[in-house]
Amino acid sequence: MIGAGGLAIVPTETVPGALVRADLPESVRALELAVGLAPSDRGLGGTLHLSGSRELEEILQAAREGGVSTAHTRVIRRLLPGPVRLLIELDTGELTRARARLGVGQGVVDTNGALSVRVPRHPLAQATIQMAGGGAVAGVAAAALRTMTDEGMRGAWAGRGGFVRVMSDGGVRALGVASTTLVLTRAGGVRIAAEGALPAREVWGALERRVLFVCTGNTCRSPMAEAIAKRIISESAPGPVRTVVESAGTSGGGGGATREALEVMAARGVDLSGHVSRSLTREMADRAEVIFVMTRRHASAVESIAPGSKGRVKVLDPEGRDVEDPIGQSGAEYERVASALERMIRARIEEMDR
């Protein structure tokens, strides 16, 4: 029905949406009239509705000719599908390429230099989008059509594929509030334009990068690595992705850092006196985006504790060599290890930021 040019009012996880084929000018114009837009108005200014996040990545890669920022990729992969609307800032050329890929006119799913996109999680909304037959789908909040009765909409779409209002909720309870609106800036950053169904704390929590360093007892190598990483990050220009750094050990827990670790780090301007060692748990590993271990033996131990971590565990040294334990050795050995850790961590941070 929607594929033939009709109008569908369907439930989403937030508020109901009114959807039409965005690449069929007559259907778009009928929706513009239904929401009260005059012929002189500059387009529907609707929202592109997609059934999957991968499709959005492909649209942006084509529009930006391959360049999608790390922060924008994280938003797409971590928050979609879900109760968020994205306003993606694009320059004139990028918007032109995006419209051409979608086959839509100016102002149908963009406004003020930004492409508006939703990937709803609701199964009925996804099914309706998929029934569009591969064409782009534009939507507005169904409440925007409140001045039209269902009978009026049937009449307006009688020759355009028909009208349907999906009454079932598909077993999914709608939140009843608008989506949270995020702006993906032209500079590659992210900001919240309007908080809605998804609280701001959950947005930022989903977007943060959590890094975990693991050694054996969490008394020298991994706490030094944690402290060094935190210092490097704090001294760098703030990026669009917040990084949280932690450390743990595969055994032990409860004690402080070794005396030599305290002294070596103090000489680097870092106070480890408050460190309390802790044992790695499955929950810690599951939260981490990447887990840097000191040796290949630690990698096996982490994957044993948290089987789901496989693929996220890496030996800290980019060349794959073990960082040997300095415990029981001289301060000079601790200094050598700390210097090696810093080199490795700088390389890994640069790698993550690419």
**Model confidence at 175, in pLDDT bands (50, 70, 90)?**
confident
Query: Measuring CA to CA, which residue among 103, 107, 72 is closest to residue 86?
Result: 72
Q: Which one is catalytic: 221, 278, 317, 348? A: 221
Is residue 309 scored above 80 in pLDDT? yes
Share of the chain above pLDDT 70, in %: 99
Mean pLDDT (whole number) for 318-328: 96
What is the pLDDT, as a whole number, of residue 70?
84
First to last CA, the chain: 44
| CATH of 2-198 given 3.90.870.10, 3.30.360.10, 1.10.150.120, 2.60.130.10 | 3.90.870.10
Bridge partners of 243, per DSSP, are: 209
Residue 109 has pLDDT above 90, yes or no: yes
Mean pLDDT across the stretch 247-274? 94
Q: What is the pLDDT of residue 171?
A: 76
Tell me the HSE value of 58 on the side-chain side, using a 13 A CA sphere.
7
Q: What is the pLDDT of residues 220-239, one digit of tens each?
A: 999 999 999 999 999 987 76
DSSP 197: S
**Sequence ranges of the chain with CATH classification 3.40.50.2300:** 208-352
pLDDT tens track for 149-172: 889 888 988 888 899 998 877 777
**Average pLDDT of the residues in 73-89:** 96
Task: Read off the pLDDT band of 17 (50, 70, 90).
Answer: very high
Q: Which of 107, 143, 145, 87 is nearest to 25 (CA)?
A: 107
Cα(241)–Cα(297) distance, integer angstroms: 31
Overall fold of domain 208-352: Rossmann fold (3.40.50)
Q: How far apart are CA 216 and CA 209, in angstroms?
A: 23
Long-range contacts of 312-317 (CB under 8 A, 24+ apart): 312/285, 312/288, 314/290, 314/348, 316/213, 316/225, 316/292, 316/341, 316/344, 316/345, 316/348, 317/344
Q: What is the pLDDT of residues 179-202, one digit of tens each?
A: 999 999 998 889 999 999 999 999
Q: Which region among 6-20, 26-40, 43-57, 297-311 has the lowest average model confidence (pLDDT)?
A: 26-40
221 in catalytic set: yes
Give 165's strand partners: 9
Catalytic residue among 64, 215, 220, 278: 215
Provide mean pLDDT across the span 73-79: 94
In the chain, where does the domain assigned CATH 3.90.870.10 lie? 2-198
- In this prediction, residues 39-54 reach a mean pLDDT of 90
Q: Would you say residue 348 has pLDDT above 80?
A: yes
Grouping H, G, I as helix, E, B as strand and the rest as coil, residue 289 is coil
pLDDT above 90: residue 174: no
Task: Supply the Cα-derived Rg of the chain in whole angstroms.
Answer: 26
> Which residue in 97, 287, 325, 336 is the catalytic one?
325
CA distance 254 to 262: 16
The pLDDT-based confidence of 133 (bands split at 50, 70, 90) is confident
Can you tell me the mean pLDDT for 124-137?
Answer: 91
Q: Give the global pTM.
A: 0.82
